[in-house]
Amino acid sequence: MSTDSHAAQGRARRWILVLLALMMLARLAAMGGLPLMDTTEARYGEVGRKMAELGDWVTPWHDTGVPFWGKPPLSFWLTAASMRLLGVNEFAARLPHLLCGLLIAALVWQFARRRAGEREALLATSMLLGSTLFFVSAGAVMTDAALVFCTTLAMFAFWFALHARDGAERRWMGWLFFIAQGLGLLAKGPVAVVLSGLPLLLWIVIEKRWWQTWRGLPWLRGSLLTLAIAAPWYVLAERHTPGFLTYFLVGEHWHRFVTPGWRGDLYGHAHEFARGTIWGFAWGALLPWSLLLPLAAWCWRRREPAGPDPEPALRLYLLLWLLLPLAFFTAARNIIWTYALPSLPAAALLMARWMARRSAWAEHWVAAGLAVSLAGAAVGFGRLGDAQRQHERSARGLVAAYQVRSQGGQPLMYVGRRPFSAAFYSQNQVIQLGGLSEAAGHLGAPGDCQGYLALAQGESRGELAAAGLQWLFTVGRFGDVNLVCVAATRANGRAAGHEAAKR
């Protein structure tokens, strides 16, 4: 490499670091500034808030008296612990998931650095952090960041258990592999073991590493350690809320993947896509690299080939790590785009290996990709920062307006579906009504404003009057919901009881 090329490469590396710092600042600002969005963020944030409030570290609660059997507790433990330390707010809810993302990035850095040096490590880590799905997921309240940390840790530990520098490192990495599997069972369940186990098993078969694998890891004692980490919670969860194991193992781990439009989901609805959609999700998850890398390959087409890969076993390992999780979800129709997330660390490592061996200008392409990612983040966060859009996706503004107005403890009521964000921001003080006719029973005697109703656009004053309510005034419009101050037009059950007590 010429002196000029070396200097240009150094400048590009500095730009990469600057762009990564700007992306981190943007992510931190969004974590504290944007409200928790319905349904995913607000739902999981509220589950964590309830756990912190109740001090129940065994059963995640979906609603009062309704256990949440859809996911194991690891991500909820992290969210609840963060809220215990930092209070109930958006930043506290999101912080553990950002830290999981940074730990994943650290594992990718260390993997690449140990195999090929700091240049490849910087490229791999930058491409991971700049991937659209990873950037979004790393600071969002979801269960996926904890899952991907566990699968990445398992893949990292397995490789270095087999390629350790000495016996002490081999033993430590072997134990770390089984710790990762135990945590994975607490993060997402048996699917975590499948997502790491499938590529490992196929790699062992193709490379004929049976004996090395058996000697390199403490399989018997390690499996006991995995069970010791995960099994106690599964036993306690079933004892506290019988029926959990059947729903979680049969419903979430069978019907969700093999039954299109599965109707047994207790907490939402199934997502039905065409088979093979996961590959489209993966392409979108890897933006901007899924566009920039083909362009880079076209620009480099006249250059000399990089030559044979010096570590074909490692290349195969990364390829299987990338492809097998996607292949696992290929036949599934009930999927969402975060299912592509476990493949992204391997994709970043593979892309960095190819670019580092192919061109001295790899840093320039990565810097350009990060600039595109940063611009996309600015546009995305700008759109989410719009007040109207926030009102459409979160009840934070509505609940804040109610709390300012309600000085006498008047209730806040939703007719029909109550957003999870309303429960989170009111600390579960929102009353959910089956219909307007139930509202009067929560109000006092006729007179001034006795309560607030969150009404969908289109609800008329006549409908309220028929339910024994008077529409006094509208506090404001929040997306497609009006916050209305109401009073009872006739004595209701609560007022009658109050009068009887006075007599």
pLDDT at 10: 82
Q: 361 and 498 share a domain? A: no
Domain interval for residue 495: 391-502
Residue 305 to residues 16, 301, 350, 358, 359: CA-CA distances in angstroms? 26, 9, 17, 7, 10
Within-domain flag for 291: yes
Helix residue ranges per DSSP H, 286-361: 289-299, 312-328, 344-358
Within-domain flag for 269: no
Quote the longest CA-to-CA distance of the chain: 98
**Cα 281 from Cα 55, distance rounded (Å):** 38
**How many CB atoms are closer than 10 A to CB 463?**
13
**Cα 303 from Cα 260, distance rounded (Å):** 48
Q: 366 and 457 share a domain? A: no
Where b means 16+ CB within 10 Å and e means fewer, 222-258 reads beebbeebbeebbeebeeebeebeebbeebbbebbbe
Within-domain flag for 271: no
Within-domain flag for 353: yes
Decide which of 385, 411, 436 is a domain's last residue: 385
| Per-residue pLDDT tens digits of the chain, which is 503 residues long | 556 667 777 888 999 999 999 999 999 999 999 999 988 999 999 999 999 999 999 999 998 889 999 899 999 999 999 999 999 999 999 999 999 999 999 999 999 999 989 999 999 999 999 999 999 999 899 999 999 999 999 999 999 999 988 889 999 999 999 999 999 999 999 999 999 999 999 999 999 999 999 999 999 999 999 999 999 999 999 999 999 998 888 877 776 676 666 666 666 665 677 888 999 999 999 999 999 999 988 887 766 566 667 789 999 999 999 999 999 999 887 788 899 999 999 999 999 999 988 878 899 999 999 999 999 998 988 888 787 788 888 999 999 999 998 876 788 999 878 899 999 999 988 999 988 888 888 886 666 788 899 988 777 788 888 888 888 899 999 988 999 999 888 655 444 444 433 43
Q: 431 and 359 share a domain? A: no
pLDDT at 261: 60
Where b means 16+ CB within 10 Å and e means fewer, 187-206 reads bbbbbbbbbbbbbbebbbee
Q: 351 and 438 share a domain? A: no
Does residue 260 have a cis bond before it (omega within 30 degrees)? no
**Cα 498 from Cα 481, distance rounded (Å):** 32
Within-domain flag for 398: yes
**Cα 20 from Cα 25, distance rounded (Å):** 9
Q: What is the number of domains present in the chain?
A: 2
Within-domain flag for 266: no
pLDDT at 408: 67
**Cα 296 from Cα 139, distance rounded (Å):** 30
pLDDT at 499: 41
Residues 454, 456, 458, 464: is their CA dihedral positive or negative? negative
**How many CB atoms are closer than 10 A to CB 408?**
9
pLDDT at 493: 45
Q: 476 and 379 share a domain? A: no
Q: 399 and 494 share a domain? A: yes
Within-domain flag for 267: no
Q: 152 and 228 share a domain? A: yes
**How many CB atoms are closer than 10 A to CB 167?**
8
Residues in Cβ contact with 62 at an 8 Å cutoff, skipping those fewer than 6 apart: 43, 47, 68, 70, 266, 267
Q: 381 and 395 share a domain? A: no
Q: 419 and 378 share a domain? A: no
The whole-model pTM stands at 0.92
**Cα 350 from Cα 423, distance rounded (Å):** 43
Check residue 341 and report its DSSP letter: G
pLDDT at 503: 38
Helix or strand holding residue 167 (H, E):
helix 167-187
Nearest Cα to Cα of residue 180 among 414, 387, 345: 345
Within-domain flag for 268: no
Decide which of 385, 403, 436 is a domain's last residue: 385
Q: 116 and 208 share a domain? A: yes
**Cα 371 from Cα 16, distance rounded (Å):** 9
Decide which of 369, 385, 401 is a domain's last residue: 385
Q: Give yes or no for a contact between 367 and 15, defined as CB atoms under 8 angstroms apart.
A: yes
**Cα 60 from Cα 77, distance rounded (Å):** 9
Q: Give yes or no for a contact between 412 and 429, defined as CB atoms under 8 angstroms apart.
A: yes
From the number of C-beta atoms within 10 Å of its C-beta (0-12, 13-18, 19+), residue 336 rates as middle
Q: 55 and 204 share a domain? A: yes
Could you give the angle at which helices 362-385 and 3-33 cross, rounded to 10 degrees?
20
Q: 373 and 399 share a domain? A: no
